[in-house]
Chain A
């Protein structure tokens, strides 16, 4: 799928527009602000309860975190792509799990963010929607979702 006129750049998710990814909004929590320069980072204190793995670093940046994206509808392809690309560009690990109607996006997400994210989907949901095997994405079960939730520092749901 080509880049359409409505597609947002990764930077727009990081630093602006209506759906900001990395902002002062603590709900997102992965990264409070962009790295200011290229000086070596210093690991500081860990985050509070519920965000034990986030590491604050010098200069207002943050160390790599793990972002999980649960896709259970087919309504927000551009947003999922934008967030995944932005998170990867910021140095975070990204995992995407698709289930329910989200499996309808499996091929599109494989085509557009396979290089940025680990992809898996619920085979039970996919087969009910006649979604064929998607090369490059793991055809699995809710176990893949459980692993993503367990390992992720933050989870976003679309």
Chain B
């Protein structure tokens, strides 16, 4: 049980730093992690930039409803629910 990679969506709202830290950590078992930023644009402080870069290096999906989030795939809020249906776990933060 549990040998196949899971698809995990991390939905970022107001606690960006912890959400991004968790998203990087969730890759440790080989699961496919995608972050969805539905809140304010990612704040460029602390470890946020490093964690976003690390997620990119690990081929994790990075999706945002904010055009200000560079390096993120842009998606409208209306299309997010359909996309989330692809995932085994959806983890709001």
- Please list the residues of chain A having a beta carbon within 8 angstroms of any beta carbon in chain B: 50-53, 66, 70, 72, 99-100, 125, 141-143, 145-147, 149-152, 154-155, 157
B24 interface residue per 8 A CB criterion: yes
A151 touches B2 (CB 8 A): yes
Residue contacts A-B, CB under 8 angstroms, 11 given: A50-B87, A50-B88, A51-B88, A72-B18, A99-B22, A100-B18, A141-B25, A143-B28, A149-B29, A152-B89, A157-B91
Give chain B's interface residue range (CB within 8 Å of chain A): 20 to 34
Query: Which of A100, A142, A151, A152 is the one whose CB lies under 8 Å from B24?
Result: A142
A149 touches B89 (CB 8 A): yes
Query: Which of A142, A146, A150 is the one whose CB lies under 8 Å from B21?
Result: A142
Dominant SS at the A interface?
mixed
Measured between beta carbons, the chain A residues less than 8 angstroms from B71 are none
B18 touches A150 (CB 8 A): no
Measured between beta carbons, the chain A residues less than 8 angstroms from B25 are 141-143, 145-146
Query: Which of A50, A100, A142, A157 is the one whose CB lies under 8 Å from B26?
Result: A142
How far apart sit A92 and B12, CA to CA, in the bound complex (Å)? 29
How far apart sit A154 and B8, CA to CA, in the bound complex (Å)? 11
How far apart sit A143 and B28, CA to CA, in the bound complex (Å)? 6
The 5 closest A-B pairs by CB, nearest first: A142-B25, A150-B29, A146-B28, A151-B2, A146-B29
